[in-house]
Amino acid sequence: MIAGDLFDSARPDDNTLASAIAQLRRLKVPAVLLPGNHDRPNPRSGYPYAELRSRCHNVRVFLQPEPAAFEFPGLGLVVYGRAGAHDPRTSPLLGFEKRPGFSFHVIMAHGSYVIPGLTKPERFPIDDKDLAACFADYVALGDWHGCREVRTARPAAWYSGGPEPLKFGEDAGGFVLEVRLGDGPEGVRVVPRRVGEARARAEELDLSGLHGPEDVHAVLAGMKDRTLMLELRLRAVGLEFNGVYPEVGCKVGSGDRQTGPSEGLR
């Protein structure tokens, strides 16, 4: 289950879409996708999910804003959800009807768990009262970037967060959740599994000991690491380092001269 914002927008570039499709095709189990506020489908074309579904036969996608459900009779499971195109002030948990004859009921919802004073209630609010009242055994939440349990009583409700951290300072990212549904005394058991590889590091590079752009390129080349999110602050006075540094996607220009040492270039 992927509870929304798999893509940053409803128009992912070709490489991003192809890479998501390739990963989903590797799955040996069924997958259910719920679009989020970032990647809600184009109502006319169904893009990007039309292509994704035609290439990944194991993937089902909630495409309509109305409450819907996918049944998995072999598992005794129903998964409920609605694409995030409804009024952002209403709870994404409302409107589902429990289907008879199944053992396990999971609701997927994309929105913001309501913490008074902290979260904005107008952004697809998921209130603890609505959670407590719903018939689900488990509620799979999406929107927040970090892995977080929001409800310990029944039904259990968690955000898995992103499988990799998305921003600096988001230490809680990098997990998926393994959710076990059972009839026994244990009931629902949720185990976070770390899958993320990215590490975030902030560094300051003092250029004053270096002689020019070639030296900077050499230092940056030594820092290259596929799993590293690097926030680099370049500190220098003068124009001898003007240039583009594609290693870190930054440009040092004369504008920095007037303000003295460059501030927070990334």
Residues near Mn ion, by CB under 5 A: 5, 36-37, 143
Min separation Cβ 7 and Mn ion, Å? 11
> Which of 172, 179, 83, 86 is CA-nearest to residue 139?
179
In the complex with Mn ion, which residue's Cβ is closer, 109 or 131? 109
Alpha-carbon span 58 to 53, nearest angstrom: 8
Quick one: tokens of 25?
């095709």
* H runs (alpha helix) in the chain: 14-26, 49-55, 128-133, 213-223, 255-258
Min separation Cβ 163 and Mn ion, Å? 15
Min separation Cβ 144 and Mn ion, Å? 8
Min separation Cβ 36 and Mn ion, Å? 4
Alpha-carbon span 86 to 215, nearest angstrom: 54
In the complex with Mn ion, which residue's Cβ is closer, 143 or 256? 143
In the complex with Mn ion, which residue's Cβ is closer, 5 or 137? 5
Alpha-carbon span 264 to 10, nearest angstrom: 31
| Residue whose token pair is 């003295």 | 260
In the complex with Mn ion, which residue's Cβ is closer, 37 or 242? 37
In the complex with Mn ion, which residue's Cβ is closer, 126 or 207? 126
In the complex with Mn ion, which residue's Cβ is closer, 92 or 174? 92
89 burial (CB, 10 Å; 0-12 / 13-18 / 19+) is exposed
Min separation Cβ 35 and Mn ion, Å? 10
Alpha-carbon span 1 to 138, nearest angstrom: 12
Query: Is beta strand 68-72 parallel, antiparallel or unpaired with respect to 59-61?
Result: unpaired
Min separation Cβ 177 and Mn ion, Å? 17
Rg of the chain taking only CA atoms, in angstroms: 23
243 burial (CB, 10 Å; 0-12 / 13-18 / 19+) is middle
> Which of 43, 38, 41, 27 is CA-nearest to residue 4?
38
Q: Cβ–Cβ contacts within 10 Å for residue 70, how many?
A: 16
In the complex with Mn ion, which residue's Cβ is closer, 36 or 125? 36
